[in-house]
Structures are given as C-alpha cells and as structure tokens.
Structure 1
Amino acid sequence: MDLTGTEKLWGSPEQAAKEIQKAIYTQFRIPSAIGMGPNMLMAKLALDLDAKKSGFAKWAYEDIPQKLWSVRPLSEMWGIGKQMEANLNAMGILTVGGLAQANLKELEKRFGIMGNQLYHHAWGIDLSTFGEPLVTNSALSFGKGQMLMKDYHTRKDIAVVLLEMCEDIMKRTREAGYVGRTITLGLSYSRNAMTKGFHRSKTIHVPTGETLVMYNVCLDLLDQYFAGEPARQLSVRLTNLEPEKSIQLDLFDERKAQRQVIGHTMDAIRNKFGANALLRAVSYTNVGTAIKRNRLVGGHLA
C-alpha cells in the first residue's frame, strides 16, 4: 500500500505499518512480516531478504550496495528465476552486485527489455506505478512440455506440434487475463542423436495473447537453433506477463482487436463443446498430437 501523505492521520509510514501488523496479530493471532521501500520493488526486496527474518524492514536506495549486491545465488532475488540465473552465470554474473556493474547494452542485446529491467532492479530502480501487479517470469508463467510419441525429423513436422502447444498455452493465458512478452522454446533430441538439445528465449516488444504470434517466435527460435537431429521432446513457455488490459491499440494493425475477440471466442467454444470441437487443420495430419492428447487425463486414457 502507498502511505504517502497519511502522516496526519496515522503517523509516520513506519508507525502505520506496525499498527497494521499489531492489529493482524491481535485479531487473528497470525504473525506477519512487512517490507517498506520507496517503490514496490524495494518493498518486496526488503520483505523477502530482510523482514521475513526480523518481522519488519525498511530499505532506502543507499542500502542497496550493502544489503542487495551481495545476494547470491541470483535466484534469491525477486524477479530472477533459475533459467535466468543460469543465463547470467554463463555471462560471468554471479551476484546482484555483478549484475549492477554489468554492461547495460550487452544485457539488452541478449535479453531485450528484460535485460534493461534486471539491470535497473539491481540498483533498486522500479518505475512501475502503484497498483500494477508485480508479475515476472519467475512469479507466473504458462507453459507446456510434451514427450513425442515418435521421433520428429523435420522442421515441418515439429512445427505442427509447436502450433498445437502454443494454442493450448495461449488459451490458458487468455483465460487467466494475461499477455506475455518472453517466449521460451526447449527441444531435446532422440537418445541416439549426436547433438545436445537447446533451451532458448526471445522477448518481443509488444506483449501478446495471440497463438500465431507466439508460434512464429517459436519458429524463429527453431530455425536458429534446430540442428536437424530427430526431436523427441518439446517445451514452450510464456513469461514476463502483464494484465491483458495493458494491451494498447495499434494504429497500423486494424485487425488486432478482432484477433483478440476471435481468440476468446475459440476458447469459449472449446470450453463448452470440448477441446476437440475446434482444431487447426494440422492436428488432423499424421504428425498432429492434439486429438489423442485431448482424450487423456493425467497422461492416461480417461
């Protein structure tokens, strides 16, 4: 909560926070922890890294070098997941202090807008306004992994399954009311392949809830990293989420609003009549998997 300007009513922000904490315990006998800071990020960091041990912590910008930069492993910091930690470690960045001293242009080149955000977060800088949900790739994501029934040897065949997976992921994303910026594709090759698989991400400028946008990003990643060996396992994930209502109109894309409506309409048809009631044509080919998998419950025939 934002306690700016409430001093005459409730005293200092620290006093007000501690009164709330006291009231929670008095009424419910539940201990609580409170983190405070000049922005939402720092309040969250104060909570996670300090207040959960002491019950109350207030951070200021001058506390960042001492209290935040020593944090290691990187996944201990809010907003950095295990995959991002591994990517940063590969660049020689092992602590939050190392992230703060990293080259901003290099981070942006590799991770897009997420690189810019991570750099500024390492300095305690958060420009989001109060009321915006704190959602990142580590806090919430939508994804799907699939072990293929047979080896898939060509890009064309792999693309069929990717389209089906993107359809499923985007349905769940839309129903939850989100759109996302970062798409991750993972591919593992057959046991007899001579090449290791890959796990790569791409962040787009405009967040999306459209199946085909996600699918085309997956194809770009596939074209860039696919080694031509037979594939046996795929995974796709959407992260870096924000509320769907944050999508802005595009003066140069007159059908954007129509595509959003179509997506929700398709979701409603599937919810009412079943997942197989509305499928893309590729699902009826001999490499499609959606029809068979939609009949399974927990991976087994219902």
Structure 2
Amino acid sequence: MIDYSKLPRNKILCIDMKSFYASCAAVLNGLDPLESYIVVVGNTSQPGSVVLASSPKMKQEYGIKTGNRLFEVPNDKKIKIFNAQMKTFLEMSTQITRIFNRFVPRECIHTYSVDESFLKIDGTERLWGDAKSCAERIRHTILTELGLHSAVGIGPNMLLAKLCLDLEAKKTGIAEWTYEDVPEKLWPLSPLREMWGIGSKIEKTLNRMGIFTVGQLANYPLEQLEKKFGIMGNQLYHHAHGVDLSELGAPIMSGQISFGKGQILLRDYDDPKEVKHVILEMCEEVARRARNSKKCGRTVSLSIGYSKDEGGGGFHRSRTIAEPTNITMDIYRTCLQLFDENFNNRTVRQISITLSNVCDDEQIQLNLFEENKGKERELGYVMDAIRNKFGPNAILRAVSYTKAGTALHRNKLVGGHKA
C-alpha cells in the first residue's frame, strides 16, 4: 500500500472558467452568463458550423453543447447566437492570468488551457488565509472585475486538484480533496475514461483485464500493470492512489507526447483527390509542429470522419514506419497508404492526423540508400524559418491554392476560428 506520510502535501488550485467562450460572449453583450441562452459558433453564416460553447441554460434546457451544429440550435427568440471572437477571448484569458498573479508569483501559475489553470499557493496563508479562503477570494475577484464564473478544485498535487475540480468542484463551486479522500471519492469512479489521463483505448484494455473502476485499478498487482503497459502501468497504478510527483506545469502523464492536427471541413468533400489535398496540407502542419519541438516520430495515425448525411462513421488507422521522421512527404505517403487501404468512397467531413512514438530529432539516422533524406529534412526547417519570419502564408504548397485547400483560410484564424 501507499505510504502517504512520505508524499508532498502542497496546496494546488485547479481553476476552471465555466462555459468560458459562452460566458465571455455574454459579458461582452451585457448578458448574464448563467441566465442567458447563448451559443457560440465558428461562423453564424454556415448552418453546418460547429458549436464551440453554450451557456449552462442552453445545455440544461435544450441539450445544445460543444460539438453540436448550428442547424441543430432551436429557432427560439430567447437564444442568442454569436460568432467566436477568439482574439477577444484570449485577451480575457490573459486578464484572468493577471488576476492570478496578484495572489501568487508567475512561477506558481501554470496555464493548462485557455480556460483552465493550476496555481500553487503554498506559503500564502498569511495573506489570503487557508486554501478555500484563497480560492474564494480569487473567484470573487474574477466575478467582480470580469463578470465570469469559475470553479476551483484543491488538492495536494496537480492530479488530485484536477480530479477534485472535474468530479466535485464543478458542481459545488469549490471543493478540496486530500489523500485520505481517495478511497471514498476516487475509487468508485466508473467508467474509467472519466479519470483524467485515461483515454478510451486504455480503458478498453483495462476492461479486458477485468478492471472497471479506479478502485479495481488501485488494487491490481503493480507488476502486472507494468508488464502490460510499461512505465505507464506504474503511472496508472499510482494515479489510482492519487499519487502525482510531477512539478507544476509538467505533464501529468509522461510517454504520451504526440503532434496532431484535426479539422472539421467547411463542406463535404466527395472527391478523394480533394481529400488528399487537405491531407497533404495537414501533414505539413503536423511535421512543422514536430520540427518546432525538435522531435520526430515513427507512428502515423489517420482518422477520417464521414458526413452525417451518409450516416457518419469513419475509420482510424495507424502505421509504424521503419525510421522516425518529421519530413512532410514521409508522413503524407504513410497517410496515403492508410487512406487508400481503408477509404470506401463516401463523403468526407472530418480529418485528423497524428505523429506519435516520438524521439529527439538528433536521433534520426540517415539512410545511405536515401541520399535526399538529409536535404528534405533541412528543407523543412528552412520552410519553417520563412513562415516564422513572414507569416504562415508566406510559403505554401500548390494544393493550398486549389478549391480543396483550407490552409489559406485557416491561417487567418485564431485557434481555428475567427479572430
């Protein structure tokens, strides 16, 4: 069993802004975020535009939430529909971070996403009181100055603070978990995918092992988990006990770094050649992201989602190549293989590409029989440097100038949506 007496007992706040985009839109338009019926979409002029956020009232009474389409929103006068103003939303997120900085130093703030942050408040008791008092002060300040509502989970580490937020604080406003709460509050959790850090694939594997609750995971033999999952098995075991020794800002689950790009297309693509044009653009972006991190990868994954007009569905396939790469055309050729092998001539609406199984770029071994590999690798970095200096549209592949291309349009967006 875990000896909690030997573990750090920090005071970590995990702060989440409730329905952030919808709340920002409400405040900007003089409306109450909790009482108004608000929907934020990518583009109000396109019926198929995706809902990016909805207010609590919209979720409760109409069931409209992130992922719905604009045409699914009821035609009701009390419902207000707004375009995303990503630049403004990001500015409001920055204002929130400045408020955090009044309570703790910058090095004690980790921005996890645009609407969620971790704060380490150890040593601030004389200024702001205990953890719950500090959390309430922060919530009150954000609400008073920006009109935005928030929830705060408190824990001795980032993992428990996040779990406390997701499983309790989002319902109550503020909650605190300790190591002693783990058996009562965490172990009954099921399905496993509701546990932060466990995705659907890992959940299915655990289910096949007879593990359906976090408690069953916590009491499963550690050596068997390590044999099945490697180092991740060790992490799963200790996380099920609420143990997380990572520093503020470090990834909770190591060994899961990947580089990906996904998009819901602006229209249905019924021509496979056009789909391949978009795949090439996206491979360029995935490779660029890997190069920017000085990484390369061996496993290429392609996901294709079919149009709802044809019943939806799709496929997700992966292939591991012989040598790690961050060269666009290597990734593209692998995606083409996966596409040609699995595509069944249906209309495409969604594409996602991921490069995983990563290692440092310096570990690439150039093949003597592929003398152009070194030049292709260096060319990628040169193209990145041009784009970084002159903008993403400074140099594009020819497919981006066809009617199928999406890069020209998307490069004008902020966070994938209108600024």
TM-score (norm 1): 0.59
Does the 8 A contact of 1:136 with 1:240 survive in 2? no
Instruction: Give 2:312's aligned residue.
Output: none
Q: CA–CA distance in 1 between the matches of 2:180 and 2:364?
A: 45
Kindly provide the CA deviation profile for residues 155-184 of structure 1, in whole angstroms up to 9, marking residues without a partner as x. Answer: xxxxxxx99975542224556x69688946
Paired residue for 1:129, among 244, 247, 253?
A: 247
Kindly provide the CA deviation profile for residues 227-261 of structure 1, in whole angstroms up to 9, marking residues without a partner as x. Answer: xx9543797424699xxxxx9797x8799xx9987
Instruction: Give 2:326's aligned residue.
Output: 210
Instruction: Give 1:281's aligned residue.
Output: none
Paired residue for 1:265, among 362, 369, 382?
A: 382
Amino acid across the alignment from 1:120: H
Instruction: Say whether 1:232 aligns with 2:343.
Output: yes
Q: CA deviation at 1:22?
A: 2.2
Instruction: Give 2:144's aligned residue.
Output: 26
**Structure 2 counterpart SS, 1:296:** coil
C-alpha change, 1:183 and 1:48, in structure 2 (3 Å) is: farther
Q: CA–CA distance in 2 between the matches of 1:65 and 1:166?
A: 45
Instruction: Give 1:158's aligned residue.
Output: none
Does the 8 A contact of 2:161 with 2:177 survive in 1? yes
Q: CA deviation at 1:36?
A: 0.7
Instruction: Say whether 1:81 aligns with 2:199.
Output: yes
**Structure 1 counterpart SS, 2:140:** helix
Instruction: Give 1:100's aligned residue.
Output: 218
Does the 8 A contact of 2:218 with 2:240 survive in 1? yes
**Structure 2 counterpart SS, 1:33:** strand
Alignment of 1:130-279 (within 5 A): 130-132=248-250, 142-143=260-261, 149=272, 167-174=284-291, 183=299, 185=301, 199=317, 210-211=326-327, 230-232=341-343, 236-238=353-355, 263-269=380-386, 271-276=392-397
Q: CA–CA distance in 2 between the matches of 1:113 and 1:56?
A: 33
Does the 8 A contact of 1:79 with 1:138 survive in 2? no
Paired residue for 2:135, among 17, 27, 46?
A: 17
Does the 8 A contact of 2:232 with 2:255 survive in 1? no
Does the 8 A contact of 2:225 with 2:233 survive in 1? yes
Amino acid across the alignment from 1:210: N
C-alpha change, 1:260 and 1:80, in structure 2 (3 Å) is: farther
Amino acid across the alignment from 2:286: I
Q: CA–CA distance in 2 between the matches of 1:84 and 1:293?
A: 40
Instruction: Could you tell me which runs of 5 or more consecutive residues in structure 2 were left unpaired when the two chains were aligned.
Output: 1-118, 264-268, 274-278, 305-314, 345-350, 367-374, 408-419
Percent sequence identity is 40
Instruction: Give 1:296's aligned residue.
Output: 404
C-alpha change, 1:56 and 1:240, in structure 2 (3 Å) is: farther
Q: CA deviation at 1:137?
A: 9.8
Amino acid across the alignment from 2:383: M
Does the 8 A contact of 1:142 with 1:173 survive in 2? no
Kindly provide the CA deviation profile for residues 159-216 of structure 1, in whole angstroms up to 9, marking residues without a partner as x. Answer: xxx99975542224556x696889464689xxxxxxxx875688xxxxx98348x95x
TM-score (norm 2): 0.45
Q: CA deviation at 1:149?
A: 4.0
Does the 8 A contact of 1:70 with 1:96 survive in 2? yes
Kindly provide the CA deviation profile for residues 120-169 of structure 1, in whole angstroms up to 9, marking residues without a partner as x. Answer: 2211111211133668899996146999949xxxxxxxxxxx99975542
Does the 8 A contact of 1:24 with 1:30 survive in 2? yes
Q: CA–CA distance in 2 between the matches of 1:147 and 1:185?
A: 22
C-alpha change, 1:92 and 1:269, in structure 2 (3 Å) is: farther
Q: CA deviation at 1:42?
A: 0.8
**Structure 2 counterpart SS, 1:275:** coil
Q: CA–CA distance in 2 between the matches of 1:148 and 1:78?
A: 39
Does the 8 A contact of 1:2 with 1:130 survive in 2? yes
Kindly provide the CA deviation profile for residues 86-132 of structure 1, in whole angstroms up to 9, marking residues without a partner as x. Answer: 33323332222222223444444444443332222211111211133
**Structure 2 counterpart SS, 1:237:** strand
Matched residue count: 248
Q: CA–CA distance in 1 between the matches of 2:232 and 2:226?
A: 7
Q: CA–CA distance in 1 between the matches of 2:209 and 2:271?
A: 33
Q: CA deviation at 1:52?
A: 0.4
Report which stretch shifted further, 40-49 or 5-14.
5-14
Q: CA deviation at 1:15?
A: 1.9
